[in-house]
Amino acid sequence: MKVFLISCTQSKRTYKCKAKDMYLGSLFIKSYKYAEQEKADRIFILSAKYGLVKPDEIIEPYNQTLNKMSDKERIDWSRKVIERLSEEVSLKNDKFIILAGKNYYEKILPSICIYELPLLGLGIGIGKRLKWFDEHILKNDYLLFL
């Protein structure tokens, strides 16, 4: 099974809604579109507040980031994510494609056997990441038949 893990973003709606609709940032939107395009069997969102979230779960808006958490807090957060993930998929047999920053994945990697980090090496700024998605998301806007 192909499992995508996508990190949350700072830009959010101001009301309770499905997790897949909560995040407004271009990076999240393109990550989600890429996961759908790549025919993900499962997509999960890595939320700084809620941990592992299914796309259709209803969540409240929040203002929290892993970037401001201590190492111990990130370890505790990661344990909760892995615990929930292990209830949903196989950490040993499934392939994980992680579309998130280092703070979101570094402490969960030791628990996952098969994974890809397509954004690794693109730096911490979003510019190169957005460009990567622009180069990898198929453009299916118009099909012309003659």
pLDDT at 143: 43
> Tell me, which fold does domain 2-136 have in CATH?
Uracil-DNA Glycosylase, subunit E (3.40.470)
* CA distance to 49, 97, 141, per residue, from 3 (Å): 21, 6, 26
With residue 95 as reference, give the H or E element that holds it: strand 95-99
Cα–Cα distance between 129 and 125 in angstroms, integer?
A: 7
Cα–Cα distance between 38 and 30 in angstroms, integer?
A: 12
pLDDT of 53 over the 90 cut: yes
pLDDT of 125 over the 80 cut: no
The mean of the pLDDT values for the chain is 91
Over the stretch 85-102, which tens digit does the pLDDT of each residue have?
999 999 999 999 999 989
At 56 the three-state DSSP class reads: coil
| Residue tagged 């892995």 (tokens) | 82
